[in-house]
């Protein structure tokens, strides 16, 4: 059975805090009322009415409600389907590219148009028209939202005309590969060999197009996976470290504290107290 472009789209009015988590899908979060502090990869951002947040796969995040009622639309997108259907790499860059000046949260004064697009997506999904035209309608609406976001970024995400599109697509494939295999014993040299590119050139291109080195990206994926297990399972810290891809527990604890400011034990104690 073919995978759906949109596995989830809904309007939420529950104002509870959300504990640290991540998704295997791309996420678009549109705040229609209230105010939250959303922390993405340990960076806190204030979002309120009219703000739209774009999250990549496996980007750890949690929210603290600052003003109620907190109301929002949540739109989840399948990475595999979206990357096959969208040919414009600049639109995919909204999820894929994470340069130092990238803005997770964008404010839309013309928020009515975003609301209309998402409401149209909801109606199309709920209609259950399982044909190629339904997916095309959904895709067109999603693309329009991404185009509006791209314009808000004021060109910061645009790839230069002299960029090698094949290299960009290759880097996107590597990102997907890392999402699927981060817990394995991976070395940057092995990854570059698998994709038939020299290690130095691979590392340089990855940082240029993604905004961080492949080593840092791999480390963040492992730490995100570990953080989720710490708050959603009773596994020991040693087992969590190994299952996330760390060969040395002490290295895991050190890296975890550098990233989250807490030891794994402290992190588990604090964040398992917050309900989803």
Q: How confident is the model at residue 58, as a pLDDT?
A: 82
Look at strands 61-77 and 26-40 and give their pairing: antiparallel
Instruction: Enumerate the CATH 1.10.10.60 domain ranges in the chain, comma separated.
Output: 163-276
Biggest CA pair distance of the chain: 53
Domain 8-152: assigned CATH number: 2.60.120.280
Query: CA 46, CA 36: separation in Å to the nearest integer?
Result: 6
pLDDT of res. 159: 63
pLDDT of residue 275: 41
Check: CB of residue 110 under 8 Å from CB of residue 30.
no
Q: What is the pLDDT of residue 155?
A: 55
- Euclidean distance between CA atoms 92 and 18, whole angstroms: 26
Distance CA 106, CA 98 (A): 14
CA atoms of 77 and 250, how far apart (whole Å):
36
Within the chain, all domains assigned CATH 2.60.120.280 are found at 8-152
Q: Are 194 and 181 in contact (CB under 8 A)?
A: no
Q: Give the contacts of 260 (CB within 8 A, at least 6 positions apart).
A: 42, 223, 227, 267
pLDDT by residue for the chain (276 residues), tens only, comes to 468 899 999 999 998 888 778 888 999 999 999 999 999 877 899 999 999 999 998 888 889 999 999 999 999 999 989 988 988 888 888 888 877 667 889 999 878 999 999 999 999 999 887 777 888 999 999 999 999 998 887 655 566 655 567 788 888 889 889 988 999 998 888 898 888 889 899 898 888 888 789 998 999 899 989 988 898 889 999 999 999 999 999 999 999 999 888 899 998 888 775 443
Q: Give the whole-angstrom CA distance, residue 230 versus residue 181.
A: 20
Residue 276 has what pLDDT?
39
DSSP reduced 3-state for 51: strand
User: Which of 56, 237, 73 lies closest to 157, judged by CA?
Assistant: 56
Q: Which residues pair with 8 in a beta bridge?
A: 76
Residue 33 φ/ψ, nearest 5 degrees: -160, 150
CA distance 94 to 18: 23
CATH of domain 163-276: 1.10.10.60
Please tell me the pTM assigned to this model: 0.80
């Amino acid at each position: 059975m073919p995978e759906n472009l949109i596995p989830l789209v809904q309007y939420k009015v529950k104002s509870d805090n959300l504990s640290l988590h991540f998704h295997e899908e791309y996420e678009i979060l549109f705040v229609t009322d209230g105010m939250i502090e959303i922390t993405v990869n340990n960076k806190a951002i204030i979002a309120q009415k009219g703000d739209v947040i774009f999250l990549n796969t496996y980007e750890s995040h949690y929210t603290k409600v600052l003003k109620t009622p907190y109301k929002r639309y949540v739109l989840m997108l399948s990475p595999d389907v979206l990357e096959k259907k969208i040919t414009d790499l600049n639109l995919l860059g909204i999820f894929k590219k994470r340069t130092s000046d990238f803005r997770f949260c964008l404010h839309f004064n013309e928020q009515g148009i975003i609301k209309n697009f998402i409401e149209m997506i909801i109606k199309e999904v709920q209609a259950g028209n399982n044909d190629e035209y339904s997916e095309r309608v959904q895709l067109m609406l999603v693309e329009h939202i991404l185009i509006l976001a791209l314009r808000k970024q004021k060109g910061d995400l645009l790839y230069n005309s002299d960029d090698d599109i094949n290299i960009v697509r290759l880097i996107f494939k590597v990102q997907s590969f890392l999402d699927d295999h981060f817990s394995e014993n991976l070395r940057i040299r092995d990854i570059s060999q698998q994709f038939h590119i020299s290690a130095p050139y691979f590392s340089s291109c990855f940082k240029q197009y993604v905004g961080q080195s492949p080593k840092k990206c791999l480390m963040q994926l492992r730490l995100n996976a570990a953080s989720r297990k710490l708050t959603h399972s009773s596994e020991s810290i040693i087992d969590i470290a190994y299952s996330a891809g760390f060969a040395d527990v002490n290295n895991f604890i050190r890296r975890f504290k550098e990233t989250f400011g807490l030891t794994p034990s402290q992190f588990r104690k604090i964040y398992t107290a917050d309900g989803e």
